[in-house]
Chains A and B, each alone.
Chain A
Amino acid sequence: MTTTAIRYRYIKQTVFFGLVRLSAFILALALGGILAYIIVHGISALSWEFVTQPPREAMTKGGIMPAIVGTFYLTVGAIAVGLPLGIVSAVYLTEYARQGPVIRVIRIGINCLAGVPSVVFGLFGLGFFVVMLKFGSSILAGSLTLGFLILPTIIGASEEALKSVPQTFREASLALGVSKWQTILRIVLPTALPGILTGSILGLGRAAGETAPIMFTAAAFFTAKLPTSVFDEVMALPYHIYVLATAGTNIEETRPLQYGTVLVLILLVLGIDLVAILIRATIRRRKKW
Chain B
Amino acid sequence: MVNQEDRIIIRTENVNFYYGEFQALTDVSMAFETNRVTALIGPSGCGKSTLLRLLNRMNDLIDGCRVEGRILFEGRNIYEPDVDPVEVRRRIGMVFQKPNPFPKSIFNNITYGPRLAGVSGKADLEALVERSLRQAVLWDEVKDILGQSAMMLSGGQQQRLCIARALAMKPDILLMDEPTSALDPISTAKIEELIEELKKTYTIIIVTHNMQQAARVSDFTGFFYLGKMIEFNVTEKIFTKPDMKQTEDYITGRFG
Contacts and interface: CB of A to CB of B under 8 A. Distances in A.
Interface string B100-119: 11110000000011001100
B96 A168 contact: yes
B116 A178 contact: yes
Given A168-B98, A169-B102, A186-B112, A176 B166 contact: yes
Interface string A144-180: 0000000000000000000000101111111111110
B116 A182 contact: yes
Contacts of B162: 172
Interface in B52-106: 56, 58, 61, 63, 86-91, 93-94, 96, 98, 100-103
B102 A175 contact: no
B151 interface: yes
B100 A176 contact: no
A194 to B, nearest CB: 11
Contact of A171 (B90, B100, B101): B100
Contacts of B100: 166, 168-169, 171-172
Nearest to B100: A168
Interface centre among B90, B116, B152, B169 (most CB of A within 10 A): B116
B149 interface: yes
A171 B151 contact: no
Interface in B92-150: 93-94, 96, 98, 100-103, 112-113, 116-117, 149
Given A177-B86, A177-B90, A172 B117 contact: no
A168 B182 CA distance: 14
Contact of A179 (B86, B98, B151): B86
A288 B63 contact: no
Interface centre among A171, A178, A187 (most CB of B within 10 A): A178
A173 B96 CA distance: 12
A186 B116 contact: yes
Nearest to A99: B63
A191 B96 contact: no
Contact of B94 (A98, A175, A179, A289): A175
Given A174-B89, A176-B93, A191-B103, A289 B151 contact: yes
Contacts of A99: 63
Contacts, number: 67
A182 B89 CA distance: 14
B165 interface: yes
A171 B112 contact: no
Given A176-B89, A288-B103, A288-B149, A171 B61 contact: yes
Contact of B86 (A168, A172, A178, A187): A178
Contacts of A289: 103, 151
B148 to A, nearest CB: 12
A166 to B, nearest CB: 7
Contact of B63 (A98, A174, A178, A187): A98
Interface string B169-200: 10000000000000000000000000000000
Interface string A85-98: 00000000000001
Contacts of A288: 103, 149, 151-152
Contacts of B96: 168, 171-172, 175
A191 B103 CA distance: 8
B56 A175 contact: yes
A152 B105 CA distance: 34
Contacts of B152: 288
A289 B101 CA distance: 10
A172 to B, nearest CB: 5
Interface of B: 56, 58, 61, 63, 86-91, 93-94, 96, 98, 100-103, 112-113, 116-117, 149, 151-152, 162, 165-166, 169
6 contacts: A176-B93, A178-B86, A186-B112, A191-B103, A288-B149, A288-B151
Given A176-B113, A176-B169, A178-B113, 8 more contacts: A168-B100, A174-B58, A175-B58, A176-B165, A177-B88, A177-B113, A178-B112, A288-B149
- Report the 6 A-B pairs with minimum CB-CB distance, sorted nearest first: A177-B90, A176-B113, A288-B151, A168-B100, A175-B94, A177-B89
